[in-house]
Amino acid sequence: MAGNDLGSLLGGLLGGSSSGGRQGGGNILGSLLNALTGGQAGSGGNGSNPLGGLLDMLTRSGLTDQAQSWVGTGENQTVSGAQIAGALPDDTLQKVAADAGVSPQEAADEIARSLPQAVDKLTPNGSLPQGASLEEIIRRQQL
């Protein structure tokens, strides 16, 4: 499944996953990106990259400064699980939580912990990479 593949790639990018049988940040982020694109986050045929859409969603929810700090080359600003929960559609957060086997609040908290680091690593030059699938971008960053 593309979400699991994407989660594994994101987990590697973030330095592994958590223990205890629960999904780590990479798997939760993979599930989130997959949910936001209707299950197509991992398909790279047409250069699908849901990261830009996610950042736009956060910006529209009032998290502009935080999202820009993650993409930029300076210090990453933090975001809370409550802010993430408020920015995401309820059905999306419910799906991500169900996929991970955690509560929606736990999923939002994990996204809040993992997303800044993931975006920072995926945008090393201070801008969103263009013209490649998210999986290809992740593979390039893990050289």
Percentages helix, strand, coil for the chain (3-state, rounded to 5) are: 60, 0, 40
pLDDT tens per residue across span 37-60:
775 544 443 345 678 888 999 999
Report the alpha-carbon distance of residue 87 to residue 111 in Å, rounded.
12
Tell me the pLDDT band of 133, cut-offs 50, 70 and 90: confident
Cα–Cα distance measured from residue 32 to residue 112, given in angstroms and rounded to the nearest whole number: 12
Residue 1: partners with Cβ closer than 8 Å, 6 or more residues away: none
Q: Is the pLDDT of residue 138 over 80?
A: no
Confidence of residue 13 (pLDDT cuts 50, 70, 90): low
Helices 90-100 and 25-36: angle between axes, nearest 10 degrees: 140
C-alpha dihedral sign at 22, 86, 90, 27: negative
Across the range 71-92, mean pLDDT stands at 94
